[in-house]
């Protein structure tokens, strides 16, 4: 890839203070408790590409998504979109213009739409906020066009969100996200609240829109099958770090990191091939007190001494990267 | 064939409202043999959970069973008085719900909860019950069971809690376990552990399992037979292999095609246009006909019976009653379409 990536994320880190209130803490004589939700996460997304972040609950995928779209300030690290640093203090005007070019789609289509606004007003809001239409007439026209684009009827604009099913609401969310003509969409579990058949409709729609409008996606999901369907590249997260990135097909064909291997092993076998399924042993450790060294080592069948001491770095090799000592040294 | 553990016949469950009775489950029939796992799969609102609740007699009033029979070991249980039903619950039917946190009492140590359940259903001393509780927790894969007996539910992680709930459901050695979305609240890796555990425990004890889930993956992993529900009715039932690999009912085909495959990136997913009808607007005839690409006039008039299809499956679809029907035909369901 010679073109510079649209989105570049470097060393993104976010620490949350989860201490108890000052008085309780002082009485109980305990210190502050800090939770590192994301730790040195780096990736880049090219135009028209879908990068998926996959991981179990608590792996920090949503935190990374919120930082990438600018909803949450990183503790450290940089987010650069088309060469503009999102959190730098200089170039205020440029950053404001940048906001138009990225939008987010949330998991819960019930909580992310204002129940007291009609759909047309919801979809028109970003157009108004960014001053993208000359007059009322042009705005109405844009809204109708957007509703048609996501497979709804322009007449639906007069209705309220409660009159729609979950899948239709997610279509409204997509129409709203597209109304500012963004280039980059961050989608945080956009289909996990939906039934399979409705999920298929939304996934198809998202892929069609990508082809038509040349969108780039950061796609967050815990569902490997959905990720397989949507992503061009996949990043696997475990306890706040990316442990492996690879092109989607390669990751599924030949996973390298032991955690990725286990995740794929744990996938239900719909093809009924009789493939023996090895459940992953153990559980995700407490993120407040993560194990030293590689966070995965207590559950890892290949762990040896260095894994318990140092955190392995993400080592680039070809188009893929793996953070594992055992892989680095050729043990597995 | 041996007598089935559970036999449900023409079960109909309704909820009276000001605008008439809504029928959530409409004429559902199935059997479960000893040691067999029957999966019930469907999308939200298909009536899966209501079916489970009806079997165990826990339908929230004003909802009630309007018609049909539920037999456990040959004996009718849907007509039992509340007090007698209470004895059946827990003793002969165990229950595992989706959210392990709501099925455990947060104020009691888990040991006390298990011991209480054991002593309610069998006449043993407190010490014996405690010993049995330890054995059960160990079997459910909880390490250091002896010590964990004195922990409260909040001290366990989600997966561990679900193990405790499994132990609790099995502690009276029931004939039947109803598991309603037992793994939905859990992470993928933990999900696999719980499925393996439930499967092993059921096999070892010869317990029949009614597994309710929306996740075809869970069904494929665990069930022996599967019933697909749509709008309160069973549209297809058969051995899990047949239904998953060679579905007959157009809805089942659409459902299978809608699941993103893992093996290769599909160009498009099969799309069933529209959504499941609401309970107050279930279409006449076959409830699926407005969304079905193969529907013909009979589907709009007459409600399809379950007809034998394939080796040992049944599908409620008129396509299989016509002499020139596309029996076992190519799964040509609903073409691609953006809007729906």
B201 touches chain A (CB under 8 A): no
Which residues share a beta bridge with A10? A78
Strands in chain B per DSSP E: 6-17, 20-32, 37-41, 64-72, 75-76, 93-96, 176-180, 208-213, 225-230, 233-239, 307-309, 313-315
In whole angstroms, what is the distance from residue B207 CA to residue B222 CA? 14
What CATH homologous superfamily does B30-61+82-229 map to? P-loop containing nucleotide triphosphate hydrolases (3.40.50.300)
Arithmetic mean of pLDDT over chain A: 89
B21 touches chain A (CB under 8 A): no
What's the token pair of residue A162? 């409660």
Q: Model confidence over B119-144: pLDDT tens digits?
A: 988 889 999 999 999 998 988 888 88
Q: What is the DSSP letter of A161?
A: G
pLDDT, position B101: 77
Cβ within 8 Å, pair A229-B257: no
ipTM of predicted assembly, 2 dp:
0.81
A26: closest CA of chain B, how far (Å): 24
pLDDT, position A275: 61
Band of pLDDT at residue B173, cut at 50, 70 and 90? confident
Q: Model confidence over B18-73: pLDDT tens digits?
A: 888 999 999 999 999 999 999 999 988 899 999 999 999 999 889 999 999 999 99
pLDDT, position B334: 39
Q: Which residues in chain B have their CB less than 8 angstroms from residue A283's CB?
A: 157, 159-160, 189-190
In whole angstroms, what is the distance from residue B228 CA to residue B254 CA? 12
In whole angstroms, what is the distance from residue A14 CA to residue A35 CA? 8
Cβ within 8 Å, pair B220-A269: yes
Residue A128 in 3-state DSSP?
helix
- Bond from prior residue into B62 cis (ω within 30 degrees of 0): yes
Residue B126 in 3-state DSSP?
helix
Q: What is the pTM of this model?
A: 0.86
In whole angstroms, what is the distance from residue A67 CA to residue A79 CA? 8
In whole angstroms, what is the distance from residue B75 CA to residue A196 CA? 37
Mean pLDDT for the stretch of residues B82-95: 90
Q: Which residues in chain A have their CB less than 8 angstroms from residue B223's CB?
A: none
Return the axis-axis angle of helices B158-170 and B110-121, rounded to nearest 10°. 20
Q: What is the 3-state secondary structure (H, E, C) of A172-203?
A: HHHHHHHCCCCCEEEEECCCCCCCHHHHHHHH
In whole angstroms, what is the distance from residue B315 CA to residue A319 CA? 48
Mean pLDDT for the stretch of residues A14-35: 87
B170: closest CA of chain A, how far (Å): 22
Instruction: Collect all residues from A whose CB is shorter than 8 A from any CB in B.
Output: 56-57, 148, 150-152, 165, 167, 195-201, 203-205, 207-208, 222, 224-226, 228-229, 248-249, 252, 262-263, 266-272, 277, 279-280, 283-284
* Percentage of residues of chain A with pLDDT beyond 70: 95
Mean pLDDT for the stretch of residues B232-247: 94
Q: Model confidence over B192-229: pLDDT tens digits?
A: 888 888 888 888 888 999 999 998 888 988 899 999 99
Q: B142, B159, B182, B187: best mutation site toward chain A, by most A Cβ within 10 Å?
A: B187
What's the token pair of residue A292? 């030293």
Contacts of A284 (CB under 8 A, 6+ apart): A56, A57, A58, A59, A238, A239, B187
CB A181 within 8 Å of CB A214: no
Exposed/middle/buried for residue A31 (C-beta within 10 Å: 0-12, 13-18, 19+): exposed
Q: Model confidence over A83-114: pLDDT tens digits?
A: 888 887 667 788 778 889 999 999 888 889 99
Beta-strand pair A184-188/B313-315: unpaired
pLDDT, position B270: 87
pLDDT, position A47: 93
């Amino acid at each position: 890839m010679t073109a510079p990536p649209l989105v570049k994320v470097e060393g993104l880190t976010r620490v949350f203070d989860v201490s108890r209130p000052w008085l309780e803490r002082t009485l109980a004589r305990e210190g502050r408790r800090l939770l590192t939700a994301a730790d040195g996460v780096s990736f880049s997304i090219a135009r028209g590409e879908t990068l998926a972040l996959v991981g179990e609950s608590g792996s920090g995928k949503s935190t990374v998504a919120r930082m990438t779209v600018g909803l949450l300030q990183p503790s450290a690290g940089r987010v650069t979109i088309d060469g503009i640093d999102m959190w730098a203090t200089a170039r205020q005007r440029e950053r404001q213009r940048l906001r138009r070019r990225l939008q987010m789609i949330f998991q819960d289509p019930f909580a992310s739409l204002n129940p007291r606004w009609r759909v047309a007003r919801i979809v028109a809001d970003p157009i108004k906020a960014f001053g993208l239409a000359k007059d009322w007439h042009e705005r109405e026209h844009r809204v109708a066009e957007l509703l048609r684009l996501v497979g709804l009827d322009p007449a639906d604009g007069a209705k309220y969100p409660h009159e729609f099913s979950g899948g239709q609401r997610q279509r409204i969310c997509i129409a709203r996200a597209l109304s500012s003509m963004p280039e980059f969409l961050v989608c945080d579990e956009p289909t996990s609240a939906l039934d399979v058949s409705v999920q298929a409709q939304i996934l198809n729609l998202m892929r069609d829109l990508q082809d038509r409008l040349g969108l780039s996606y950061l796609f967050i999901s815990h569902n490997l099958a959905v990720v397989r369907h949507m992503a061009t590249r996949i990043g696997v997260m475990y306890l706040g770090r990316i442990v492996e990135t690879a092109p989607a097909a390669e990751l599924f064909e030949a996973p390298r990191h032991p955690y990725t291997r286990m995740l794929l092993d744990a996938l239900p076998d719909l093809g009924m091939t009789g493939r023996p399924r090895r459940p992953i042993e153990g559980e995700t450790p407490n993120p407040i007190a993560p194990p030293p060294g590689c966070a995965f080592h207590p559950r890892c069948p290949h762990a040896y001494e260095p894994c318990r001491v140092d955190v392995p770095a993400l080592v680039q090799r070809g188009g893929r990267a793996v953070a594992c000592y055992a892989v680095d040294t050729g043990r597995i | 064939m041996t007598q089935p553990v559970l036999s449900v016949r023409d079960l109909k469950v309704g909820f009276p409202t000001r605008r008439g009775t809504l029928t959530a489950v409409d004429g559902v029939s199935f059997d479960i043999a000893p040691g067999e796992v029957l999966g019930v799969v469907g999308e939200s609102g298909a009536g899966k959970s209501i079916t489970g609740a009806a079997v165990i007699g826990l339908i929230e009033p004003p909802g009630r069973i309007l018609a049909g029979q539920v037999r456990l070991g040959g004996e009718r249980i849907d007509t039992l008085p509340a007090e007698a039903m209470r004895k059946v619950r827990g003793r002969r039917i165990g229950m595992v719900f989706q959210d392990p946190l709501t099925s455990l009492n947060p104020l009691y140590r888990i040991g006390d909860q298990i011991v209480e359940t054991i002593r309610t259903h069998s006449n043993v001393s407190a010490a014996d019950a405690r010993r049995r509780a330890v054995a059960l927790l160990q079997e459910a894969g909880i390490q250091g069971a002896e010590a964990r007996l004195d922990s409260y539910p909040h001290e366990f992680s989600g997966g561990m809690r679900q193990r405790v709930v499994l132990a609790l459901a099995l502690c009276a050695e029931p004939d039947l376990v109803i598991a309603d979305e037992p793994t939905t609240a859990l992470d993928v890796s933990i999900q696999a552990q719980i499925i393996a555990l439930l499967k092993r425990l059921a096999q070892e004890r010869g317990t029949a399992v009614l597994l309710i889930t929306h996740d075809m993956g869970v069904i494929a992993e665990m069930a022996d037979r599967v019933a697909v529900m749509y709008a309160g009715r069973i549209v297809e039932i058969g051995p899990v292999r047949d239904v998953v690999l060679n579905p007959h009912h157009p809805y089942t085909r659409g459902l299978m095609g809608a699941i993103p495959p893992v093996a290769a990136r599909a160009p498009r997913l099969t799309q069933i246009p529209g959504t499941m009808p609401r309970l107050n607007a279930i279409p006449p005839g076959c409830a699926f006909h407005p969304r079905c690409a193969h529907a013909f006039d009979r589907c709009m008039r007459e409600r399809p019976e379950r007809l034998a299809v394939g080796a040992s499956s049944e599908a409620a679809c008129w396509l299989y009653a016509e002499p020139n029907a596309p029996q076992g035909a190519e799964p040509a369901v609903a073409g691609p379409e953006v809007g729906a």
